[in-house]
Amino acid sequence: MIEMQDVWKTYPDGTVALQGINVVIERNEFVYVVGPSGAGKSTFMKLIYREEVPSKGHLSVNGFNIGKLKHRKIPYIRRNIGVIFQDYRLLPKLSAFENVAFAMEVIESPRRLIKRRTMEVLDLVGLKHKANSLPAQLSGGEQQRIAIARAIVNNPAVIVADEPTGNLDPETSWGIMKLLEEINFRGTTIVMATHNKEIVNSLRKRVIAIERGSIVRDQQRGEYGYEN
Amino acid sequence: MKISTLARHLREGVKNVGRNGWMSIASISSIAVSLFILGVFMLLALNVNKVADQIESKVTIRAYLQVTANQAKIDEVERSIKRIPEVKSVKFVSKDEGLKQLRESMGEEGKAALEGYNSENNPLPDAFEIEVFDPQTVSYVAKKVMAINETDASKPVTDVRYGKGTIEKLFRITNAVRNIGLIFVAGLAVMAMFLISTTIKMTIIARRREISIMKMVGATNSFIRWPFFIEGALIGIIGSVVTAAVLLFGYSELTSTTQTDIGYYMIQLATLKDVGWIVTGSILAIGTLLGIWGSTISVRKYLKV
């Protein structure tokens, strides 16, 4: 699903964010990416959803060579990758329903399909009854659920989640994790960067630890391995 | 593109014009002002052209003959003039007729000056009044008429006159009007474009978040760009429609009130029907293009898609 061979990333200011990353993430895996702040986790994630391109090395996602992708092809790649952020990134003036439907509108799905599919994913994240609420009227956990609904509405092959529980209390975080596990169970690959020790240690998955731009540990059912 | 997508872009574009309220009004006004000035200069140029045409079509050549020329000589010269292919018609104006015409054209004050002249002591020569098919050939034909002297030892033609200078002056005015207009309009158009691109830039900044989310979920670049193009085009169209309406209304008022005054000088202004379409069409086309151009600049510069 995701394959990196000797991937390097150097930013224009000279910062070397990743140096020689080699990793393969298979279809339907659930992977935690852990490590200290500034170690290169975010760059790792950004490479996957093609926010950044590798400076060197080979990277393919879902069979596409991301590094050599033509500019106009990028949107079509992104349709296969759902992205979730710590700060939800919902549009404040749109209702929960509209925020989710928006992701289908921009890829020009037929209207009737948009309505049916949007209600379906809102039901899946447990917020069908809040369809008409604005983000400001929802709690943090509910907003993140809407963001997740938006990420999965177009049936992506991969979900990239950058600290999805970073702003949430432990109880709400667990709700979000249950949801991600459910989505993973349905066949979507999940790559999640996190600082949440409890979650990593309790909900055991593959753990990839990145320090100073290199993978220092890659372990199935691994531990978080850092003191917060 | 699907119809429903196009409808969405249109909706978004219209909404943006509203969202940017004052900036949109500023852009629309600057487009309208520059187009208005363009329109005024266009109308001026069209009318100067029309007047020039009218005057041109009235231009005739007068060839004066030797006072001593007898009837045989007069006929001979007439035949020579008629042989020039550009000549449309030749009319003989006898010295008596010339005096009569002069009296008429000079009116009251001429009466005293011409007192005492009659057919006996008429100082005027006989003349030919020559009309040509194409006003542009007037000076050429005049030279040809003068050249009759070269083949005739008696040099029967003493002088050839036509509205020399008048036409050239008119063309100079037309060109000046056109050039001054162009400079004005170019300057204003640049200003209008700058304002439009600023308006679009504001839209882009205000919607940066939305745009990044659109990109994140896989919107194509053209999908993101379309509403901005529509916004720019719309600003241009509104500006030009307002301008065209004001200009046409103003012009119809002007022509209906001044026609009788100017008509006294045998000059007719171009009618609304003559100029309406060309002025409206140019203004709409230029306005819309300015709008699209302004938005293209902004989209290219600020929308890193």
Per the document, the length of chain B is 305
- B30 HSE (CA, 13 A, CB side): 22
H helix or E strand, kind and range, residue A160 = strand A158-162
Confidence of residue A180 (pLDDT cuts 50, 70, 90): very high
Tell me: do B51 and B197 sit in the same domain.
yes
Q: Which of B162, B187, B202 is the last residue of a domain?
A: B162
Tell me: do B105 and B184 sit in the same domain.
no
Tokens of A132: 């008409």
Inter-chain residue contact A91 with B217, CB threshold 8 Å: no
- Is the pLDDT confidence value at B166 over 80? no
Question: How many structural domains comprise chain B?
Answer: 2
Lowest mean pLDDT among A97-111, B21-35, B250-264: B250-264
Inter-chain residue contact A76 with B209, CB threshold 8 Å: no
Tell me: do B49 and B175 sit in the same domain.
yes
Tell me: do B87 and B171 sit in the same domain.
no
Say whether residue B267 is in contact with chain A using an 8 A CB cutoff: no
Tell me: do B124 and B273 sit in the same domain.
no
Inter-chain residue contact A102 with B213, CB threshold 8 Å: yes
Q: Write down the mean pLDDT value for chain A.
A: 92
pLDDT value of position A28: 94
pLDDT value of position A162: 94
Q: Which of B103, B132, B162 is the last residue of a domain?
A: B162
pLDDT value of position A154: 92
Confidence of residue B133 (pLDDT cuts 50, 70, 90): confident
- DSSP string for residues in A67-127: GG--GGGHHHHHTTEEEEETT----TTS-HHHHHHHHHHTTT--HHHHHHHHHHHHHHTT-
The phi, psi pair for A60, rounded to 5°, reads -125, 140
Q: Residues 199..218 of A with a Cβ closer than 8 Å to B: which? A: none
Instruction: Compute CA B176 distance to the chain's CA centroid, rounded to the nearest angstrom.
Output: 11
Q: Write down the mean pLDDT value for chain B.
A: 79
Tell me: do B205 and B267 sit in the same domain.
yes
Strand-pairing partners, residue A33, are A193, A208
The more confidently predicted of residues B132 and B206 is: B132
Inter-chain residue contact B219 with A107, CB threshold 8 Å: yes
Q: How far apart are CA B236 and CA B231, in angstroms?
A: 9
Q: Which residues of A touch B216 (CB under 8 A)?
A: 49, 78, 83, 89
Tell me: do B291 and B196 sit in the same domain.
yes
Given the DSSP bridges, would you call strands A206-211 and A214-219 parallel, antiparallel or unpaired? antiparallel
Q: Which of B162, B197, B227 is the last residue of a domain?
A: B162
Tell me: do B192 and B298 sit in the same domain.
yes
Domain hosting B89: range is 60-162
Task: Say what the ipTM of the complex is.
Answer: 0.83
Q: What is the mean pLDDT of residues B245-266?
A: 74
Say whether residue A158 is in contact with chain B using an 8 A CB cutoff: no
Total-model pTM = 0.68
Say whether residue A76 is in contact with chain B using an 8 A CB cutoff: yes
Q: What is the pLDDT of residues B3-19, one digit of tens each?
A: 878 888 888 888 877 77
Nearest CA in chain A to B1: A108
- Is the pLDDT confidence value at B174 over 80? no
Q: How far apart are CA B277 and CA A176, in angstroms?
A: 65
Q: Mind telling me how many Å the CA of B221 is from chain A's nearest CA? A: 7
Q: Specify whether the CB–CB gap between B162 and B86 falls below 8 A.
A: no
Tell me: do B37 and B175 sit in the same domain.
yes
In this structure, which amino acid lies at residue B123? P
The residues near B165 (Cβ < 8 Å, ≥ 6 apart) are none
The count of CB pairs under 8 A between chains A and B is: 48
Tell me: do B180 and B296 sit in the same domain.
yes
**C-alpha pair distances (Å), B2 with each of A108, A155, B232:** 8, 22, 21
Tell me: do B220 and B130 sit in the same domain.
no
Q: Specify whether the CB–CB gap between B26 and B199 falls below 8 A.
A: yes
- Is the pLDDT confidence value at B56 over 70? no
Tell me: do B204 and B243 sit in the same domain.
yes
- Is the pLDDT confidence value at B37 over 90? no
**CATH code of the domain containing B90:** 3.30.70.3040
- DSSP string for residues in B120-172: TT--PPPEEEEEESSGGGHHHHHHHHHTHHHH-TT--EEEEE--TTHHHHHHH
